[in-house]
Amino acid sequence: MNVRYRAVLSLLGLQEIKRQTNNMNYELAKKLKDMGFKQEDFGVGERHYHKQGDVCYEPTLSELIEACGEEHPRFSEPFFLEFAYKGRWEAGYSSGGNDRLIVLEASGSTPEEAVARLWIELNK
């Protein structure tokens, strides 16, 4: 599936991405796993968390966006991802435009964290 999305990235947001070392923590990766997010083959690599005998995959931003989808059956509004304020990212579905109506939204300190939280909300 070719997923298109709109991202509003300020210069501050781009600098913030460059400073990130981990895109999400173990607890969030574990919650994704527990809720059924696809786990990639486990090999040695930086995209897996190993904790107390448990292995959790840390999905990429592209994988998270694709899993949420540009369009969702529950919403007629498009997906958005933007650097909002004070180091926070927001992902969700809105009507777009200056006076946009937010239908569903999640936030995080990284784009991956925000979209992962959105996926969790969509799959509750």
Domain annotation covers residue 93:
yes
Note whether 119 and 37 are within 8 A (CB): yes
Q: What is the pLDDT of residues 63-103, one digit of tens each?
A: 899 898 876 766 767 788 888 878 899 998 876 556 666 67
Write down the H helix ranges in the chain.
11-19, 26-34, 61-68, 111-122
**Distance in angstroms (rounded) separating the CA atoms of residues 85 and 70:** 23
Domain annotation covers residue 113:
yes
Q: What is the pLDDT of residues 27-73, one digit of tens each?
A: 999 999 999 998 876 555 557 777 878 888 888 898 899 898 876 76
CATH number at residue 62: 3.30.2120
Domain annotation covers residue 30:
yes
Residue 28 in 3-state DSSP?
helix
Note whether 111 and 17 are within 8 A (CB): yes
Domain extent, residue 69, equals 6-122
Say what the pLDDT of residue 52 is.
78
Q: How many domains does the chain have?
A: 1
CA dihedral 105, 107, 111, 112 (to 10 degrees): -90
Domain annotation covers residue 77:
yes
Domain annotation covers residue 1:
no
